[in-house]
Amino acid sequence: MDRWVWYALASMAFAGATAVVAKIGLATVSADLGSAVRTAFVFLFMLAFAAVVVPNDEYAKLGRRDVLFLALSAALTAASWVCYYRAVQQGPVAGVTLIDKGSLVVAVLLAWLLLGEEPTPQLLVGCGLVVAGLVVASRS
């Protein structure tokens, strides 16, 4: 199995655990405060991680365009987290997480339109199954 698949599987496991742990952490505080505290910790953890694994010469490669798009990605992440934390606090973790995974369809569409990544037939079937799962789960 390719290395990226292992990273993706680890990401899946961490993201699933994150939803449950977040719900517990939001028991007595607002979703907005919880998201802000979580984000502060993510920032600290990522700074420490980068200090250990990023070679010094890598920083010189960081251009304005890179920073612009990474900043845009951060803004989109922040908007996603605000909505996600409010949803997790108010709704069932399984339902919120399922709907959140509909982001696969958005990512495939944007990767096709903006990056020229051609979706394979298998990927399109997978997206269809995700949408079907969302429809089925939303009716229960």
| Residue 138 scores a pLDDT above 80 | no
Report the percentage of the chain scoring pLDDT > 90. Answer: 74
Who wins on pLDDT, 98 or 22? Answer: 22
- pTM metric for this prediction: 0.81
56 shares its domain with 113: no
| Residue 76 scores a pLDDT above 80 | yes
11 shares its domain with 67: yes
Instruction: Report the C-alpha gap between 77 and 71 in whole angstroms.
Output: 10
Instruction: Report the C-alpha gap between 136 and 133 in whole angstroms.
Output: 5
Question: Residue 130: what pLDDT?
Answer: 92
Mean pLDDT for 75-94 is 92
86 shares its domain with 40: yes
Six-digit token string for 10: 């680890």
If one counts the domains in the chain, the total is 2
The whole domain housing 52 covers: 3-92
125 shares its domain with 85: no
